[in-house]
Amino acid sequence: MDSKPVVPAAASDEDLKRGPLVCAAGVVKSYGPVKALDRIDLHVDAGEFVALLGLNGAGKSTLFQLLSGLFVPDAGSITVNGADMRRNPVEGLRGLGIVFQDATLDLDLPVSTSLHFHAGLRGMARAVASERMMQELGRLGLTDSAGTIARKLSGGNRRRVELARALMHDPTVLLLDEPTAGLDPMVRRDLLSYVRKLCGERGLGVLWATHLVEEAEGADRVMVLHRGRVVESAPPAAILQKAGKPSLSDAFLSLIEPRTPPAAGAAVERAAS
Ligand SMILES: Nc1ncnc2c1ncn2[C@@H]1O[C@H](COP(=O)(O)OP(=O)(O)O)[C@@H](O)[C@H]1O
Ligand SMILES: [Mg+2]
C-alpha cells in the first residue's frame, strides 16, 4: 500500500504548499446507501504519472468529481496545489486541468471558439489565449484544425482538442478520466505516450483513470480502486512482486477477486464437474 504519509486535515496553508500536488485524506462519498468512496487516501507528486485503475463502478469518476471540486466529500479532505478544496477551491482549480470521461466539447463550434471561451472563463487575456492555444494544438499536430467545426474532427482529434484545452492555462496537475474510451488502439497509445511525456517535460502531475490494465503498465504508480476502496498503490513492478503474479493483469485480478473462500457447496460442485 501507499507508504507516503498523507497531509493531515489540520495542516497549515504553508504545510499544504510543500506537500503533493494533489492530496486526499480519508475521503468518503455516498450516494444514498451506495458508498462510492470509502476512506480514500491518495497523493500525486510533481512529474508523477499515477494510473487510477478500476472496473466500471469502482468510484473513479466520483473521485474526479471530488478532486475537481464539483462535489464536496461527506468526510475527509482534499488539497490541490496546496489549496484546501473545501475552503479555497478557486485557488486549487487555478492549477488544475481536467479531461472528463464524457466529451464536453461543443460540436457545433469551431475549435478556436471553444478554446477561447474556456480561456476567458479562466481569466486569460485573448492574445495570451491565442498564443497558448496554438502552442498546445501545434504540439498535438492540430494547428490546421483551429478553425474547424469540432463535429468534423475524428474522435481522437476531439479528445486531443480537449487535452489542449485542459493544458492551455499551464496547469501543474492534470486529471484524465478514461480519456481513451471509444478510441482505436493507435490513438489510445498515442494519447497515453503524449501525456506520459508531459510529466517529464513539464513536471506535470497526472492522474489517469482507466479500466484498461495495459494503460497502467507504464505508470510511475498504480492505484487500484475497487468498490470505493484503494486496494493497492505502488509502482507496477512492486505490485507484481507483492502479488507473485507474472503480469499486471493477473495481479490486478488477484486484487479485485473476492478473497473469501468459496462456499462448501461450490467446492463440491466444482469437484464433481
Ligand atoms: N450520481 C449518482 N447517483 C447515484 N449513484 C451514483 C452516482 N454516480 C455514481 N454512482 C454510483 O457510485 C459508484 C461509483 O461510480 P463511478 O464513480 O461512476 O465509478 P467509475 O467511474 O469507476 O465507473 C457506482 O456504484 C455508481 O453506480
Ligand atoms: Mg467513470
Tell me which residue of 53, 57, 56 sits closest to 251, measured CA to CA.
53
Q: What cell numbers appear for 230 in the block? A: 484503494
Do 80 and 215 fall into the same domain? yes
Do 79 and 214 fall into the same domain? yes
d(CA 161, CA 70): 22
Q: Is residue 6 part of a domain?
A: no
How do strand 173-177 and strand 205-210 relate by DSSP bridges? parallel
Q: What cell numbers appear for 263 in the block? A: 462456499
CB 9 within 8 A of CB 57: no
Give the chain's domain count: 2
Give pTM, 2 decimals. Answer: 0.89
- Ligand 1 and 61: CB distance under 6 A: yes
CATH number, domain of 204, equals: 3.40.50.300
CB 145 within 8 A of CB 153: yes
Virtual torsion, Cα 66, 72, 77, 81, nearest 10 deg: 60
CB 161 within 8 A of CB 109: no
Q: Is residue 5 part of a domain?
A: no
Tell me the residue range of the domain where 149 lies.
107-170
Q: Point out the domain boundary residue: 170, 199, 223.
A: 170
Do 190 and 265 fall into the same domain? yes
Virtual torsion, Cα 51, 57, 60, 66, nearest 10 deg: -170
Do 28 and 149 fall into the same domain? no
Q: Is residue 220 part of a domain?
A: yes
Predicted confidence at residue 34, as pLDDT, reads 95
- Ligand 1 and 210: CB distance under 6 A: no
Compute the Cα dihedral for 45, 49, 54, 57 and give only its sign: positive
Do 215 and 118 fall into the same domain? no
Predicted confidence at residue 166, as pLDDT, reads 97
Ligand nearest to the CA of 181: 2
Q: Is residue 131 part of a domain?
A: yes
Q: Is residue 3 part of a domain?
A: no
d(CA 113, CA 59): 33
**Phi, psi (degrees; rounded to nearest 5) at 168:** -60, -35
- Ligand 1 and 59: CB distance under 6 A: yes
Q: What cell numbers appear for 88 in the block? A: 479555497
Ligand nearest to the CA of 101: 2
Nearest CA to ligand 1 atom 24: 57
Predicted confidence at residue 258, as pLDDT, reads 66
Q: SS in 3 state form for 255-270? A: HHCCCCCCCHHHHHHH
Tell which atom from ligand 1 comes closest to the C-alpha of 54. Answer: 22
Predicted confidence at residue 257, as pLDDT, reads 86
Q: What cell numbers appear for 166 in the block? A: 485542459
DSSP state of 228: T
Q: SS in 3 state form for 45-110? A: CCCCEEEEECCCCCCHHHHHHHHCCCCCCCEEEEEECCEECCCCHHHHHHCEEEECCCCCCCCCCE
Tell which atom from ligand 1 comes closest to the C-alpha of 228. Answer: 14
Q: Point out the domain boundary residue: 170, 196, 211.
A: 170
d(CA 148, CA 39): 44
Tens-binned pLDDT, residue by residue, of the chain (273 aa): 444 444 434 445 554 455 799 999 999 999 999 999 999 999 999 999 999 999 999 999 999 999 999 999 999 999 999 999 999 999 999 999 999 999 899 999 999 999 999 999 999 999 999 999 999 999 999 999 999 999 999 999 999 999 999 999 999 999 999 999 999 999 999 999 999 999 999 999 999 999 999 999 999 999 999 999 999 999 999 999 999 999 999 999 999 986 545 454 444 334 333
Do 255 and 267 fall into the same domain? yes
Q: Is residue 232 part of a domain?
A: yes
Tell me which residue of 23, 27, 30, 29 sits closest to 4, measured CA to CA.
23
Nearest CA to ligand 1 atom 3: 31
